[in-house]
Amino acid sequence: MTVNVATLGFPRIGPRRELKTALESYWAGKSDQAALLATAAELRRKAWARQRDLGATIIPSNDFSLYDQVLDTTAMVGAIPAIYGWTGGEVGLDTYFAMARGAQGQPGHEGCAHGHAHDGEGAPAAEMTKWFDTNYHYLVPELTAGQSFRLASTKALREYREAKAQGIETRPVLLGPVSYLLLGKTRGADFEPLSLLPRLLPIYAEVLRRLAEAGAAWVQMDEPYLVMDLTDTARAAYRDAYAALTGGTPTGGASTGDASTGDASTGDASIPRIMLTTYFGALGDNLATVLALPVAGLHVDLVRAPDQLGAILAGARPDLVLSLGVIDGRNIWAADLNAILDRIQPAVAAGRTVVLAPSCSLLHTPIDLERETDLDPEVRRWLSFAVQKVAELAVLARALNEGRDAVRAELDVAAAAAASRRISPKIHNPAVQARITADDPSLSRRTSPFEVRRSIQRAKLKLPPYPTTTIGSFPQTAEIRKARADYGKHAIDLATYEGFLRDETARAVRWQEEAGLDVLVHGEFERNDMVQYFGEQLSGFAFTSHAWVQSYGSRCVRPPIIYGDVARPRPMTVEWWRYAQSLTKRPMKGMLTGPVTILNWSFVRDDQPRSVTCRQLAFAIRDEVTDLENAGAAIIQIDEAALREGLPLRHGEWQAYLDWAVACFRIASSGVGDATQIHTHMCYSEFNDIIASIGAMDADVISIETARSQMELLDAFAGYRYPAEIGPGVYDIHSPRVPAADEMSALLKAAARRLPADQLWVNPDCGLKTRKWPEVRLAIENMVAAAQAARACA
């Protein structure tokens, strides 16, 4: 039996972000629909040919998207919310982009300070949220109790035929019906989204029937929810859905062709065979449910959950085709191919039909390492992007099909790279390792409890009630970006660049004093990004030039790569802080990004637990905190914007994560004396389920996002009796709208009903980097007025 190579999905933005360019030009009205569609078709054509040439034998179609695959599914099943005025027929681009970005004239999704997604105010764009535990964002289906479905997009069929016309047989990818419903939110009456399943399945059945008619032998049905905690209702929905779609038979009908290939000879089947695709974790307690489903194939993630192979082999029907996700689709490390061959030996020895695949779609990796010509060559040989990962899979398949000797050279290269990672002094720093293993509980404990610190800090800082501050960044204007780009291109020298930044900083400090803010910030003008800025100054980090990964729609991010032990060779922010503080008598906040956030927004080394890497980051930040204190900073903010998004997919693993994440924050923040006030900031609002851990961080002040929910979120803080001070954001910075002072006063009053007034700070809900100065000036002046009004009534 020949072992095949499947890719599950390929990055769609294009090697030079061609899709981004085409989309943004189309949205700006600078090009027409035909141009956009032509670019998209060309990207698909090249991606299919590329995968084939690299040795993939099962190539996906319908993995491409103009915006998002969940939105594509919403279009496919015709679940278009009424507000978009869709009147039936094939969902067109206007409707599609209206759901993605809001209708004409409305602001669309705006990134927050870190390029992460937020709704634009008043924009009727569909809500966007993170795709499982990735940094990719999908558009949330909005379902009503009376929801009806109909086939409203034949994209899957079109793209299958398009590849076929190019001479490439593909396996179309569909987001499975149960995961689709579970990803949705319900609108109106409270009801169970899964109750819509009987109405949804006929649409899937129709799509499958048409794909079979067009010649598709297999489809890839993505059901990532199978690695999540499922209720009995959800498990039953899986049984019902796949029984209904297959008529109860694994092959879906009278199919005949070779089960292991994408062979088109099964065109007579009533529906294609289903490769049920799971990823991002172990099937765990859903395994028995999954193995009883009448599907022809099962894909499992053996990178995140290598240990599940044994149970799967023991329990799976002998004819179940197993797709083994052995190459990491979520990270950028070259694989140790020999180790993988050893690991999957039992599956091959059992005489199973096996497919080799990445753990999940390659969507989450950058496209091609070849373009990274500026990387340190030693670091580069440890890496593998989407193109290299397909090649790795092809080598593995050849080793199985022809014997390891047939690919001895490739295996040796991989083995040498793996060996060099194990010993390279670029990675292993004994001093760092010794420091982080020291088991000294005082390292993660402030000297005194909060109550004691609080009175010391109050006596020192002498702030008024309802103290005002901002979250850190001020507008990153076109001039600032230009100066940074010029400096990068050596068009201006360092002195000129820094002089420019000093002027910006001085202006911002002067303006903050005039506006009447109590605790000032330097504005973060010198920072390209809140993670990159620190990564560039820490050892153990590498940065790429072209390694973009889709975040949402046309938005891409280029995460730093943490490849080695992390150390801080020298202070990173002290000079800027010192300069800014020299301009004012008011307290100037030191401003740092926390270890958990740096970790969660990077590609992280896979040769040690994430918790260990985070601990290294924590010590590096601790050194910076101590240096800021020694330089005279009375207040230091350590942002943990991404702490919540690192939560594991399974509830049972939450506490372990929270424990080490909180411990890392405490290591970073506990090197200071009682008089130094530690702030933290989190730009989200769901705290109820992790509030105890937020409290355990033991920060003196926390600022959070609350403006958009009218302070309802504070209920969590009231219920738990959060001990320290809180700045609930009173100004939603994700919108250009300037809130009036009255509006912010009302929010402050709402906050004061839930929490003691002497616990409250007044601030916007995130950094102001994405805003424009005219908006910021007005909004902050109004905010200060609201704080003064609150003081007057206090």
Give catalytic residues, as residue numbers: 734
Start-to-end CA distance of the chain, whole Å, equals 79
683 is a site residue for Zn ion (CB under 5 A)? yes
The stretch among 361-369, 526-534, 636-644, 774-782 that binds Zn ion (CB under 5 A) is 636-644
588: β partners:
520
Strands (E), 500-602: 539-542, 549-552, 555-557, 561-567, 589-593
| Pair type for strands 539-542 and 549-552 | unpaired
Tokens for 93? 């681009």
- Closest approach of ligand GLN to the CB of residue 261, in Å: 47
Figure out which of the listed residues 113, 274, 375, 618 binds ligand GLN, where binding follows CB under 6 A.
113
224 versus 767: smaller Cβ distance to ligand GLN? 767
Q: Would you say 332 or 766 has its CB closer to Zn ion?
A: 766
b/e sequence 518-541, b meaning 16+ C-beta within 10 Å: bbbbbbbbbbebbbbbbbebbebb
What interhelical angle do 197-214 and 155-165 show, nearest 10?
A: 20
Position of tokens 């329990």? 315
504 vs 674 by CB, closer to ligand GLN: 504
Q: 530 is in the binding site of which of ligand GLN, Zn ion, none (Cβ under 5 to 8 A by kind)?
A: ligand GLN
Q: Which is nearer to ligand GLN, 222 or 639 (CB)?
A: 639
CA contacts within 13 A on the Cβ side of 719: 11
473 binds ligand GLN (CB under 6 A): yes
- Please report how close the Cβ of residue 521 comes to ligand GLN at its closest, in angstroms: 8
666 counts as binding ligand GLN under rule CB under 6 A: no
Number of residues binding to Zn ion, judged by CB under 5 A: 3
Query: Which of 340, 530, 549, 697 is the binder for ligand GLN (CB under 6 A)?
Result: 530
Greatest Cα pair distance in the chain: 82
157 binds, among ligand GLN, Zn ion, none (CB under 5 to 8 A by kind): none
Q: How far is the CB of 527 from Zn ion (least distance, A)?
A: 14
**Chain position whose Cβ is nearest to ligand GLN:** 767
Q: To the nearest whole angstrom, how small is the minimum distance from the Cβ of residue 637 to ligand GLN?
A: 7
Q: Lay out the site mask for ligand GLN across 718-757 (x = CB under 6 A, - = otherwise).
A: ----------------------------------------
* Pick 219 or 530: Cβ nearer Zn ion: 530
Tokens 């396996």, residue located? 171
How far apart are CB 641 and ligand GLN at their closest, in Å?
4
In single-letter form, the type of residue at position 53 comes to D
* CA neighbor of 476 nearest in space, from 547, 432, 533: 533
- Per-residue DSSP letters for 17-63? -HHHHHHHHHHTTSS-HHHHHHHHHHHHHHHHHHHHHHT-SBEEES-
**Of positions 117, 471, 614, 713, contacts ligand GLN by CB under 6 A:** 471
- Nearest-approach distance from CB 529 to ligand GLN, in angstroms: 9
Burial 707-722 (b: 16+ CB within 10 A, else e): bbeebebbebbeeeeb
Contact region with Zn ion (CB under 5 A), list: 54-62, 364-372, 671-679, 760-768: 760-768
Closer CB to ligand GLN, 212 or 733, in the complex? 733
Nearest-angstrom CA–CA distance, 513 and 715: 33
Q: Which stretch binds Zn ion (CB under 5 A): 38-46, 561-569, 586-594, 762-770?
A: 762-770
Single out the residue of 337, 766, 780, 790 in contact with Zn ion (rule: CB under 5 A).
766
Residue closest to 6 by CA, chosen among 302, 386, 298, 358: 358
How many amino acids of this chain bind ligand GLN (CB under 6 A)?
16
The 10 Å CB-count burial string (b at 16+, else e) for 264-301 is eebbebbbbbbbbbbbbbbbbebbebbbebbbbbbbbb
Partner interacting with residue 748 (select from ligand GLN, Zn ion, none; CB below 5-8 Å by kind): none
Candidate ranges 236-244, 449-457, 470-478, 753-761; the one touching ligand GLN (CB under 6 A)? 470-478
Closest CA to 323 of 293, 291, 299: 299
Nearer residue to Zn ion within complex by CB, 174 or 702: 702
Q: Which is nearer to ligand GLN, 524 or 627 (CB)?
A: 524
19, 641, 661, 702: which one binds ligand GLN (CB under 6 A) = 641
Binding track, positions 753-782, relative to ligand GLN; x by CB under 6 A: -------------xx-x-------------
Kindly indicate which of the ranges 74-82, 98-106, 107-115, 619-627 contains the residues binding ligand GLN, using the contact rule CB under 6 A.
107-115
Choices 91-99, 281-289, 688-696, 759-767; region in contact with Zn ion by CB under 5 A: 759-767
User: Least separation, in Å, of the C-beta of 767 and ligand GLN?
Assistant: 2
Does 178 sit near Zn ion (CB under 5 A)? no
Which residues 6+ apart lie within 8 Å of 6 measured at CB?
56, 57, 58, 59, 60, 171, 220, 275, 299, 323, 355, 356, 357
Contacted entry of ligand GLN, Zn ion, none for residue 769, CB cut-off 5 to 8 Å set by kind = ligand GLN
DSSP letter assigned to residue 543: -
Parallel, antiparallel, or unpaired: how do β-strands 218-222 and 273-277 relate?
parallel
- Say which entry of Zn ion, ligand GLN, none residue 114 contacts (CB below 5 to 8 A, set by partner kind): ligand GLN
**Nearest distance from residue 725's CB to Zn ion, in Å?**
17
Give the span between the Cα atoms of 235 and 526, in whole angstroms: 51
Rounded CA-CA distance 790/794 in Å is 6
Please give the structure tokens belonging to residue 758: 């002497």
- Residue ranges in 564-623 that form contacts with ligand GLN under rule CB under 6 A: 591
Closer to Zn ion by CB, 634 or 766: give it.
766
Least distance CB 593 / ligand GLN (angstroms)? 7
Side-chain half-sphere of 359: how many Cα atoms within 13 Å? 23
Q: What residues contact 114, with CB distance under 8 A and at least 6 apart?
A: 529, 530, 531, 601, 641, 642
Minimum Å gap between C-beta 679 and Zn ion is 12
Q: At closest approach, how far in Å is the CB of 351 from ligand GLN?
A: 52
639 makes contact with ligand GLN (CB under 6 A): yes
| Bridge partners for 557 per DSSP | 549
Residues near Zn ion, by CB under 5 A: 641, 683, 766
Residues near ligand GLN, by CB under 6 A: 112-114, 471-473, 524, 530, 591, 639, 641, 681, 683, 766-767, 769
